[in-house]
Structure 1
Amino acid sequence: MHVLKNGTVVDADGAREADVAIVDDEIVAVGEVGRGDTETDVSGQFVAPGLIDSHVHLMMDGRPDVATAQDESDFDHTYIAAANLRKAVEAGVTTVRDLGANGTLALDAGHAVAEGRLVGPRVLACGENVVMTGGHGHWFGREADGPDEVRRAAREQLKRGADVIKCMATGGVLTEGAQTGAPELTYEELEALVDAASAKGVPTAAHAHGKEGLLNAVDAGITSIEHGTFMDREAAEAMAAGGTYWVPTAAALKNIVENPGSGIPQSAMAKATEAAEAFASSFDHAEAAGVDIAMGTDAGTPFNRFDNIADELSYMVEFGMSPEAALEAATVTAARLCGLDDTGRVAEDYRADLVVLDGNPAEDADAWQDPSAVFAAGDRVA
């Protein structure tokens, strides 16, 4: 038994002075704990749950023009993914949800981590995005047109073992020729995708910037809206009424618009600048409507690197969330979205995914930066 001694535990249930005892990959006690076989003194520090990033792309490395990855092999992308896993976990991220990669790359990465062949966070993955022919992200997605093809594409990902089914409901910033907010998959196609996923009890996620595509996804029963850039009051209220989660990925737009002249394609910069102007109000609408917000970054997109994932919490606070609300979004809410009932709290019988921080993250979102220790499934990895 390993014991974290003399620290302050902080999670969505609040802060309290407590020791934390770990056996194998599980928290077995929180409170007054006797001596352990090994101990770490965390006096004056805070023990929090590891971060959960609900939206990453393991095969991407933050380069200015993601489309150049089309010229590389799956082997190249595998090495990038392995490096990203290490960077993420050392930054305090203990679960990631990959929402689009070539073939089975992200699914295989999850197996490699689970089997101890790679060090990294637990990986949940969608396999390939389902996208209309020539649509946003088509070069690493599964192209499908019409409800029957979309249903088949979703079932192919389920056969591979997908933890979530992801689709592109609208165009996007980084695909040349795509219109950011324009609907791509139809309501009927989205409905077929949700129906296919429901047969296996698997959640769904939809990339959706524009209002029409967002509402189509909500009406079809999609579990989470990714980005939601042009969300207005009507869209937010529809999401809240439908129990649809929002994964804002503030880092994605921010890291584009703040890096002009860096090699990001001109079309992407123009679209991102327009989108960023609308994005801030999305937080106001979501908060007013009571939409459930789960943390996600779109890590791998331009200048949006895996070792900087914790920046997202500070960005959410910049957009009006409290540090405490950001903590919840990155732990318990993200865990609920991902269907994880053993993650996101520092509590008995929970998975020992923990970070040791010098500051209180419920009071200061910057406290997530540079954890002094990270435990992933009970193993100290940083």
Structure 2
Amino acid sequence: MHVLRNGTVVDADGVREADVAVADDGIVAVGDVGRGDSETDVSGQFVAPGLIDAHVHLMMDGRPDVATAQGMSDYDLAYVVAANLRQAVEAGVTTVRDLGAKGSVALDAGHAVAEGRLDGPRVLAAGQNVVMTGGHGHWFGREADGPDEIRKAAREQLKRGADVVKCMATGGVLTEGAQTGAPELTYDELSALVDAAGAKGVPTAAHAHGKEGILNAVDAGITSIEHGTFIDREAANAMAAEDTYWVPTAAALQNIVENPESGIPRSAMEKAVDAADAFESSFEHAEAAGVQIAMGTDAGTPFNYFDNIADELAYMVEFGLSPAAALEAATVTAADLCGLDDVGLVAEDYRADLVVLDENPLDDADAWQDPSAVFAGGDQVV
């Protein structure tokens, strides 16, 4: 048993002075803990849950033009995945949800981490995202048209062992020729996807920027809206009424608009600037309606690197969330979205996914940067 001694525990349940005891992959005690086989003095520091990023693309490496990765072999992609996993866990990210990759590369990565063959966070993966023919992300997605084809495409991902089924409900920023907010999958197609996933008890996620696509996804029963750039009051109220989660991925837009003249395609830059102008009001509407917000970054997109995932908490605070709300989004709410009941808190019988921080994250969202220690499933990786 290893004991983190004399620290301050900070999570969604509040702040308390407590020791934390870890054995194997779990937290065995929090509070007045007896002597451990080994101990680390964390006096003056804060023990918090590891971060959960509910939207990443492990096969992407932050290059300015993602389309140039189309020619990469599966072997090349596997090396990118391994490097991204290592960067993420060293940054204090202990669970990631991959929402679209070529073939089975992200699903395979999840098995490799679980079996101890790769260092990294726990991986939940969608397999290939389901997309209309020629739609957003078509080059690494599973193209399908009409409810029957969509249902089959979803079932293919489920057969592979997908933890979530992801689709593209609207166009996107990074696909040439796609209109960011325009609907791509119809309500009937989205309903077929939800029906297929629901039969296996698997949640769903929809890339959706524009209002019509968001409402189609919500009405169809999609579990989470990814990006949601053009959420207005009507869309936010609909999401709140159906308990639909929102994963904003602020880092995706910010890292594009903050890097002009850097090799990002002009069309993508223009679409990102237009989307960024609307994004702040999306946060306002979502907060006012009481939409559940879970942290996700879209890590892997241009200049959106896995070792900078913690930037998302600061971005969320810039857009109006409190540091406490950002902490909840990145821990307990993201855990709920992912269907995990053993992460997100520093509590007995929870998985030992922990970070040790020098500053209180309830005071400053930047406290998540550069953790002094990281434990993933009980193993100290930093």
Query: Aligned with 1:286: secondary structure?
Result: helix
Say whether 1:356 aligns with 2:351: no
Quote the Cα distance in structure 2 between the aligned partners of 1:357 and 1:171: 39
Quote the Cα distance in structure 2 between the aligned partners of 1:166 and 1:45: 38
Counterpart of 1:36 in structure 2 is: 36
CA-to-aligned-CA distance 1:255-289 (integer Å, 9 cap, x gap): 00000000000000000000000011000000000
CA-to-aligned-CA distance 1:7-58 (integer Å, 9 cap, x gap): 0000000000000001100001000101100111100000000000000000
Query: Aligned with 1:162: secondary structure?
Result: coil
Superposition deviation, residue 369 in structure 1: 0.2
Counterpart of 2:147 in structure 1 is: 147
Counterpart of 2:333 in structure 1 is: 333
Superposition deviation, residue 243 in structure 1: 0.3
CA-to-aligned-CA distance 1:43-96 (integer Å, 9 cap, x gap): 000000000000000000000000000011111111000000000000000000
Quote the Cα distance in structure 2 between the aligned partners of 1:33 and 1:44: 18
Unaligned runs of 5+ in 2: none
Quote the Cα distance in structure 2 between the aligned partners of 1:56 and 1:99: 6
Counterpart of 2:160 in structure 1 is: 160
Quote the Cα distance in structure 1 between the aligned partners of 2:356 and 2:73: 38
Quote the Cα distance in structure 2 between the aligned partners of 1:72 and 1:326: 36
Quote the Cα distance in structure 1 between the aligned partners of 2:260 and 2:28: 49
Counterpart of 2:83 in structure 1 is: 83
Counterpart of 2:133 in structure 1 is: 133
After the TM superposition, which residues 1-382 of structure 1 pair with which residues of structure 2 at under 5 Å, given as runs? 1-382=1-382
CA-based RMSD of the aligned residues comes to 0.3
Quote the Cα distance in structure 1 between the aligned partners of 2:269 and 2:48: 36
Letter in 2 for 1:129: N
TM-score relative to the length of structure 1: 1.00
Letter in 2 for 1:250: A
Quote the Cα distance in structure 2 between the aligned partners of 1:40 and 1:93: 21
Unaligned runs of 5+ in 1: none
Quote the Cα distance in structure 2 between the aligned partners of 1:368 and 1:260: 27
CA-to-aligned-CA distance 1:282-325 (integer Å, 9 cap, x gap): 00000000000000000000000000000000000000000000
Quote the Cα distance in structure 2 between the aligned partners of 1:137 and 1:38: 48
Quote the Cα distance in structure 2 between the aligned partners of 1:150 and 1:71: 26
Superposition deviation, residue 213 in structure 1: 0.3
Letter in 2 for 1:139: W
CA-to-aligned-CA distance 1:230-258 (integer Å, 9 cap, x gap): 00000000000000000000000000000
Quote the Cα distance in structure 2 between the aligned partners of 1:117 and 1:363: 37
CA-to-aligned-CA distance 1:161-200 (integer Å, 9 cap, x gap): 0000000000000000000000000000000000000011
Quote the Cα distance in structure 2 between the aligned partners of 1:296 and 1:361: 18
Quote the Cα distance in structure 1 between the aligned partners of 2:61 and 2:4: 34
Query: Aligned with 2:299: secondary structure?
Result: coil
Letter in 2 for 1:301: T
Quote the Cα distance in structure 2 between the aligned partners of 1:175 and 1:209: 13
Superposition deviation, residue 363 in structure 1: 1.4
Query: Aligned with 2:295: secondary structure?
Result: coil
Query: Aligned with 1:140: secondary structure?
Result: coil
Quote the Cα distance in structure 2 between the aligned partners of 1:70 and 1:364: 39
Quote the Cα distance in structure 2 between the aligned partners of 1:76 and 1:374: 28
Quote the Cα distance in structure 1 between the aligned partners of 2:4 and 2:202: 36
Query: Aligned with 2:134: secondary structure?
Result: coil
Quote the Cα distance in structure 2 between the aligned partners of 1:159 and 1:274: 38
Quote the Cα distance in structure 1 between the aligned partners of 2:103 and 2:40: 41
Quote the Cα distance in structure 1 between the aligned partners of 2:346 and 2:302: 33
Query: Aligned with 1:138: secondary structure?
Result: coil
TM-score relative to the length of structure 2: 1.00
Quote the Cα distance in structure 1 between the aligned partners of 2:137 and 2:180: 12
Letter in 2 for 1:180: T
Quote the Cα distance in structure 1 between the aligned partners of 2:57 and 2:35: 41
Query: Aligned with 1:303: secondary structure?
Result: coil
Which stretch shifts more, 68-77 or 163-172?
A: 68-77
Quote the Cα distance in structure 1 between the aligned partners of 2:271 and 2:146: 28
